[in-house]
Structure 1
């Protein structure tokens, strides 16, 4: 093989390798839709060197890697848990629910959000980035990042019931909007923008009720995440405070994440809220794009769940982690 041919072959292989691991951000990309019953494979995940006893304030319980031959599986940007099932929402309007049983997953089901802010199936039409559920009724709310809209869906995602484009979100940057959405136990809703208004702070809104109700007016505040980190999801702790998942991407290909606790009492009109970092996820424990967060109660214990977004790259599995918030740490 000649030198020129070898160089050409090496270049093409390098390009192919990059395309397999680097996220695709073309907004015009045609998105696949998930099957009704996708085949999902779950394997135990143990980081290199094993699990540490603690990750900051949290104690690891375990983890899974999830994969599927379905081309629409993955890219999960939000996580919710309801009635023993994990709800994994992709950034393309596809949703997978799984029954969790003793470290295994069963009965995977696929759902497609066929009604949304766009009329097609390009990424810009279906940029679903955040999800929250009403545990009593099963209603779901989805935040669409590109359009800066919030949609409410009937139980089981059967249909869209109503939606809104809150005036307070209209100036949020396209593709950097409602990255987080959480329904609080008192019926309030909280959302964060991924970026802006500047390098150090992010837009935050607290709705006193359903944000899709006409005329809903939120409290505006600013969230100051750890330096160079962006909020990717949030969940409510048992005492009413908020746990915010933040993540950072560094070239050439490295992710880290920080969990930040903020006091609900600190969320006031025009306040700047920073909170306290309670855990950092970094290699070798996790070096992936942590985007979804949920909190559950199990026999009086608080469990923190995190799901990663593989950016639809076939060589990157989806990680689902479970960590325990020790009672001694919760009381600090």
Structure 2
């Protein structure tokens, strides 16, 4: 792993740095109250979203049970554009990144069943490069996803096709980037605005331990499938995910059992808006694989969705797996920042 702006001294040095950062290190726990303590507080209100499918009271959608949702309406537009998320404290808190290079944290008020009822203690802070300058000032701010692995927090920057490493926890909001993950040239050369979008850390008790799994948002015109990358101390290996119906990848996370869930978004004039969730057996994510996955959820403009981009997962006190889906409103009055909660029944 190279420091910001530097080339790795050797392949051996790169592997050693990557291993020390990722390999079998338990993540440091952090509560919502510990995050962004020096960040800028933001006044916000929420609007409840009691039903997912418009016009019906259905809560069951295949293997997912809708628990409830919120529309976040913040007083500062810097809190808009939420593109990546990790759930903390059993779903009581979150840390997010925006697509213009800011951290956002907050506390999610919820019922015993996991239904979100409000968002409090909302704060934001600019993300800082290794030189202390904001990512916005360094033109590295198109941040789209984040994941926690070992003692590091990893963030993708789509336009630059880079993966940044930050210390964990982000307790003040003034923490500087530690460096960048060394990536091969074919990742660096992915098309702008369709590059690295989804990022997930391999489960610590499986074959992907100590590795990052990334998925490009879309595909070059001469390809059909989505490009996936397994990034580890011995280099980068590749797999593909079947692409259907003009859906693009926007985020990914691993479930407690080792499977990976991919968020797919469709947002164009031809199809209007769409959301798809697919689950992949973690054991199938290997070099050279072509993955189809299991369809968990598909929704369109008849459902309470927007530009869905972020996914967090946590396990509640009952051992149930809870998914939190978040939308990127692009800081536009025409779009919404949504927090949607589902319980995975299988």
1:188 paired to 2:211: yes
Q: Number of aligned pairs? A: 286
1:110 paired to 2:124: yes
Q: In the alignment, which residue of structure 1 is the partner of 2:146?
A: 131
Secondary structure at the counterpart of residue 182 of structure 1? strand
1:50-107: CA deviation from partner (whole Å, max 9, x where unpaired) = 4422123211000000011212121111111123311221110012111112222121
User: After the TM superposition, which residues 116-265 of structure 1 pair with which residues of structure 2 at under 5 Å, given as runs?
Assistant: 121=136, 125-134=140-149, 137=151, 139-155=152-168, 156=170, 157=173, 158-167=175-184, 168-186=186-204, 187-197=210-220, 198-208=222-232, 217-251=235-269, 254-265=272-283
1:116, 1:151 within 8 Å by CA — same for their partners in 2? no
Q: In the alignment, which residue of structure 2 is the partner of 1:89?
A: 97
Q: In the alignment, which residue of structure 1 is the partner of 2:64?
A: 58
1:244-277: CA deviation from partner (whole Å, max 9, x where unpaired) = 0111123168211110111122222222112121
Q: Runs (4+) of structure 1 moved beyond 4 Å?
A: 116-120
How much does 1:35 deviate?
6.4
Structure of larger gyration radius: 1
Could you tell me which runs of 5 or more consecutive residues in structure 1 were left unpaired when the two chains were aligned.
1-33, 210-215
How much does 1:226 deviate?
2.7
1:223, 1:274 within 8 Å by CA — same for their partners in 2? yes
**C-alpha RMSD over aligned residues:** 2.4
Secondary structure at the counterpart of residue 95 of structure 1? strand
TM-score normalized with structure 2 length: 0.76
1:43 paired to 2:43: no
Give the direction of change, closer, same or farther, for the CA distance of 1:132–1:258 in structure 2 (3 Å limit).
Answer: same
Could you tell me which runs of 5 or more consecutive residues in structure 2 were left unpaired when the two chains were aligned.
1-37, 111-116, 205-209
TM-score normalized with structure 1 length: 0.79
Structure 1: how far apart are the matches of 2:39 and 2:76? 7
Aligned equivalent of 2:319, options 300, 316, 320: 300
How much does 1:199 deviate?
4.7
Structure 2: how far apart are the matches of 1:133 and 1:288? 26
Aligned equivalent of 2:108, options 81, 100, 114: 100
